[in-house]
């Protein structure tokens, strides 16, 4: 983190031909007030030192005994001193006092302006439930902190029997019990609108059980690209921070808002809603950064579905990488085995069988072939390296791997043999999912399997004139981009129409009438 921030400050000074102190002030003026911890941290950067040197001198980076020296930039070329000595220069007394002040905070969350916010974030990280949920029904009227960006928006947060996805209470004659905006009685014939428009309409929700790809992890490149940087660049920082740097409101499965991060939004939820307007707001994105078949067994307990009161749901089970991805040096030893995958997924499906209403569907998604990442990015410049043409994705991957914080040591590596072995294990785990879908039977849902459609997505994007690297998030060089998410939706939908039309339900012939009558109540 220190190396990234110092790099941005030094490049700001270069781009604007200013002092480092002026660059720090410029960046701090861009960032919303309570997030300005960097002003306290980096006031005395020396722009003659690269970011690795600065962060070692601040003691925010260190070399553990017996471990290699990790650096993003090439080490200073001086023969008289060792590299490790160069990365531990003398710290001026004035800078030491600032450093001591900063190091007095054991973490960013100990910094007073952020302490309260961090407590809220810790709560949602622990529970995966909305922080603002006054009636305890797992739905919220607040967007972030696991609120309605993640689950359909509650329309009465003081009544635990009112929430998205439930079957209407007495056909919603007097109020909107399922938050789909349809309620009341048609004065022409006395028939409740819910009964007239939604009875027998195969209403169903969409639920994602997934990882950071499903949660739609994204770090805006303008946060690190000084040629594009302005106060506007960081306007979304508070929202991003309280959504764990995820953007589920634009995601492939549960997206519902127009994308503000490039590309466009197309999601399974939006397509189901267009097919049947009665499905409005019935979505849940139960994903987490680092989600795998193992930790999903805990995450799944935040599911909100009542077998007796709620509509059926389409559940997408998609942990597309973390069962083979980790940051360990002996990465192969830490990958999920086929036996563990079988046990984890079957346990999750049994839990779903005890919570999903009858008539639900589960789609198991195979793991991605992550060799695509290295093949298309390794020799391209990262956003941090574009100004001076000095940092490629290969360098970034090596830096993260050295720190043992790589999102995927098996794929983000120059070692072709390791990349192939990682893909081999991913294929084995996908085959486990395929066999589960073929052989396991459950009382309340049927089960399907589909490969992760990376190849088809790349082919479709190529036809549209795009380049493969544009399908990958530019800052982390690992996650699917907004474009990839939108194209993936289209491919998944077409497959379902061809092979499992029963999963999608039928078209509601009353959609236009619903929109005409309830157009003012259709907001998310």
Instruction: Give catalytic residues, as residue numbers.
Output: 212
Q: How far is CA 10 from the centre of its chain?
A: 29
Q: What would the two tokens of residue 150 be? A: 């993640």
What do you get for the CA distance between the two ends of the chain, in Å?
Answer: 35
> In the 3-class helix/strand/coil scheme, how is 235-266 assigned residue by residue?
CCHHHHHHCCCECHHHCCCCCCCCCCCCCCCC
Strands (E), 369-501: 445-450
Angle at 436 between CA 435 and CA 439, to 5 degrees: 80
Which has the closest alpha carbon to 38: 23, 53, 59, 17? 23
Contact present, 373 and 328 (Cβ < 8 Å): no
Q: Where are the beta strands (DSSP E) in 246-359?
A: 283-287, 313-318
Any idea which residue has 């969409």 for tokens? Answer: 206
Tally of CB atoms within 10 A around 73: 18
Neighbouring residues of 421: CB distance < 8 A, sequence distance ≥ 6: 332, 410
CA 96 and chain centroid, separation:
38
Beta-bridge partners for 381: 392
Separation between Cα atoms, residue 252 and residue 283, nearest integer Å: 12
CA distance 109 to 204: 40
For the record, the structure tokens of 183 come out as 């309620």
- The answer to whether 241 and 234 have CB atoms below 8 angstroms apart is no
Distances (CA, A) of 255 to 250, 258, 277, 329, 377: 4, 8, 16, 36, 27
Euclidean distance between CA atoms 186 and 510, whole angstroms: 14
Whether the CA torsion 128, 132, 138, 143 is positive or negative: it is: negative
- DSSP state, residue 174: S
């Amino acid at each position: 983190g220190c190396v990234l921030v110092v790099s941005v400050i030094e490049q700001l000074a270069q781009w604007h031909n200013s002092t480092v102190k002026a660059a720090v002030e410029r960046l701090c003026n861009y960032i919303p007030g309570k997030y300005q911890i960097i002003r306290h941290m980096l006031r005395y950067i020396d722009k003659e030192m690269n970011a690795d040197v600065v962060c070692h001198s601040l003691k925010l980076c260190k070399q553990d005994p017996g471990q290699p020296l990790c650096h993003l930039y090439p080490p200073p070329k001086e023969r008289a001193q060792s590299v490790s000595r160069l990365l531990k220069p003398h710290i001026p007394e004035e800078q030491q006092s600032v450093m001591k002040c900063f190091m007095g905070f054991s973490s960013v969350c100990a910094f007073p302006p952020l302490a309260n916010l961090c407590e809220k974030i810790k709560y949602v990280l622990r529970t995966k439930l909305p922080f603002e949920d006054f009636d305890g029904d797992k739905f919220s009227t607040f967007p972030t902190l696991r609120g309605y960006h993640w689950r359909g928006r509650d329309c009465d947060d003081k009544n635990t029997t009112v929430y998205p996805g439930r079957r209407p209470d007495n056909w919603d004659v007097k109020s909107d019990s399922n938050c789909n905006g349809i309620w009341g009685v048609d004065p022409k014939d006395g028939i409740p609108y819910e009964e007239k428009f939604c009875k027998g309409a195969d209403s169903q929700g969409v639920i994602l059980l997934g990882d950071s790809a499903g949660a739609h992890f994204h770090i805006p490149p303008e946060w690190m690209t000084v040629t594009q940087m302005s106060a506007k660049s960081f306007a979304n920082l508070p929202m991003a921070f309280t959504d764990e740097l995820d953007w589920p409101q634009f995601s492939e499965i549960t997206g519902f808002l127009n994308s503000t991060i490039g590309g466009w939004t197309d999601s399974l939820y939006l397509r189901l809603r267009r097919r049947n307007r009665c499905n409005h707001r019935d979505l849940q994105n139960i994903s987490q950064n680092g989600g795998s078949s193992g930790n999903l067994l805990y995450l799944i307990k935040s599911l909100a579905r009542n077998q007796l009161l709620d509509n059926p749901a389409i559940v997408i089970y998609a942990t597309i990488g973390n069962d083979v991805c980790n940051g360990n040096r002996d990465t192969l030893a830490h990958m999920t085995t086929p036996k563990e995958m079988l046990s984890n997924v079957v346990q999750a499906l049994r839990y779903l069988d005890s919570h999903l209403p009858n008539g639900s569907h589960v789609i198991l998604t195979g793991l991605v072939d992550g060799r695509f990442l290295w093949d298309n990015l390794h020799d391209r410049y990262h956003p941090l390296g574009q100004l001076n043409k000095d940092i490629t994705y290969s360098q970034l991957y090596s830096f993260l791997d050295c720190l043992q914080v790589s999102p995927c040591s098996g794929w983000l590596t120059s070692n072709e043999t390791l990349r192939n072995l990682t893909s081999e294990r991913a294929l084995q785990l996908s085959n486990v999912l395929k066999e589960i879908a073929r052989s396991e039977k459950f009382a309340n849902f049927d089960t399907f399997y589909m490969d992760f459609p990376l190849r088809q997505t790349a082919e479709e994007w190529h036809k549209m004139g795009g380049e493969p690297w544009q399908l990958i998030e530019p800052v982390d060089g690992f996650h699917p981009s907004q474009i990839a998410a939108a194209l993936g939706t289209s491919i998944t939908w077409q497959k379902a129409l061809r092979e499992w039309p029963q999963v999608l339900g039928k078209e509601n012939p009353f959609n236009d009438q619903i929109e005409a009558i309830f157009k003012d109540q259709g907001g998310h």
